[in-house]
Amino acid sequence: MKTVCLYYSRTGKTRSIMERMARMLDADLFEYTDGKDRSGVKGYISSCIDTYREMPPVSIIGGEPEWEKYDRIIVAMPIWAEAPCVIGKAFLKQYSGKFKGDLYLVVTHMARADYSKSICKAYLYSSVRPKAHLSLQTKKRDCGADIKHFVQAIGK
């Protein structure tokens, strides 16, 4: 099973989770972005505003993976305003038509809530229906056990 993991991360939490997951799965790892500087308070506010604006074009840093090489694609994104962030939704809208393998989604969030229902909002933007998803609370928490459990569930 050849896996590719792709993530967007504003402050690094989703990045470190996906780095761990990719290591456990021997997967290739890519970062996608809308190219906007979203650091600090200004970046937080603009992210809130952009949530309600038109979807931005996104790109994959270093170029697109060779999609036909992968039979599993794991796409990760943070939750913004109770839903998968606009950049993640834009990514699915733009690229999911090219996926050749099974799709899995990962969302990260601060609240202890299970965002499984919100993840379905991202399903609407994907031309492939995800096989499963993972909702990961990141605040003051080591997600290692949850990541391991997810990796075991989907299999290496």
Ligand X SMILES: Cc1cc2nc3c(=O)[nH]c(=O)nc-3n(C[C@H](O)[C@H](O)[C@H](O)COP(=O)(O)O)c2cc1C
Q: How many residues bind ligand X (CB under 6 A)?
A: 20
Give me the count of residues in the chain: 156
CB of 110 vs ligand X, minimal distance in Å: 4
Residue 12 Cα distances to 16, 101, 130, 150, angstroms:
6, 27, 24, 20
Ranges within 21-50 binding ligand X (CB under 6 A): 44, 47-48
Give the nearest distance from C-beta 27 to ligand X in angstroms: 18
CB neighbours of residue 30 within 10 Å: 18
The window from 11-19, 55-63, 122-130, 144-152 that contacts ligand X (CB under 6 A) reads 11-19
Answer left, alpha or beta for residue 113, where phi above 0 means left and psi between -120 and 50 means alpha. beta
Is 80 in contact with 86 (CB distance < 8 Å)? yes
Stretch that binds ligand X, among 64-72, 77-85, 88-96, 147-155 (CB under 6 A): 77-85
Tokens of 12: 């690094």
Q: Restricting to residues 97-136, name those near ligand X by CB under 6 A.
A: 108-111
Q: How far apart are CB 45 and ligand X at their closest, in Å? A: 8
What residue ranges bind ligand X (CB under 6 A)?
9-15, 44, 47-48, 78-82, 108-111, 138
